[in-house]
């Protein structure tokens, strides 16, 4: 699937589902689309194709840490940050999500991703299923953070 064809398909599927979205400029992705309210929890979802992995569609969302959690995290030593990262990674693996701790707009966030890499089976239904699945994983990651951090 060519770059523009993948993006065109994603945009067409979103329009078909009456989901509003915007294109996002990105250096590392061939395209990136932000869907404002998606899945059962109405979260913001990024859908993108990494330039380093053409033909793969990634559906992601960010769990924003609460202010007290950010303050605590920033006070961690490198070892404590590593342990927290491992604990988070283990949890996300258990719910079949990929995670990454990122800093964006001056806040710590947990990015949670679902990757669609079966090129033959990337279609409207698999993308919508990934959005629904991600919405649930976002909610579970948010609850995990509240309970453990």
* Average pLDDT across the chain, whole number: 93
Task: Name the pTM for this structure.
Answer: 0.90
Give CA angle at 128 (126, 130), nearest 5°.
70
3 state DSSP class of 18? coil
Task: Note whether 50 and 58 are within 8 A (CB).
Answer: yes
pLDDT digits (tens, 9 = 90+) for 23-57: 999 999 999 999 999 999 999 999 999 999 999 99
Choices 3.30.1460.10, 3.30.9.10, 3.40.50.970, 3.40.50.2300: CATH for 3-148: 3.30.1460.10
Using CA atoms, how far apart are residues 14 and 34, in angstroms rounded to an integer? 11
Give the start-to-end residue ranges of the domains of the chain.
Answer: 3-148
Q: Strand 107-116 vs strand 57-64: parallel, antiparallel, or unpaired?
A: antiparallel
Predicted pLDDT at 60: 97
* Percentage above 90 pLDDT, the chain: 85
């Amino acid at each position: 699937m060519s770059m523009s064809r993948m993006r065109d398909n994603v945009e067409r599927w979103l329009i078909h589902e009456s989901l509003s979205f915007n294109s996002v400029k990105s250096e590392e992705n061939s395209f990136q689309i932000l869907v404002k309210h998606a899945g059962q929890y109405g979260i913001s979802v990024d859908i993108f194709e990494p330039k380093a992995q053409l033909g793969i569609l990634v559906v992601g969302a960010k769990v924003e840490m609460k202010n007290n959690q950010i303050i605590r995290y920033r006070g961690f030593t490198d070892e404590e940050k590593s342990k927290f990262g491992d604990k988070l990674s283990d949890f996300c693996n258990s719910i079949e999500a990929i995670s990454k701790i990122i800093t964006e707009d001056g806040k710590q966030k947990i990015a949670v991703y679902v990757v669609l890499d079966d090129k033959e089976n990337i279609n409207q239904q698999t993308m919508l299923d990934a959005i629904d699945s991600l919405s649930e994983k976002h909610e579970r990651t948010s609850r995990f953070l509240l309970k453990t951090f």
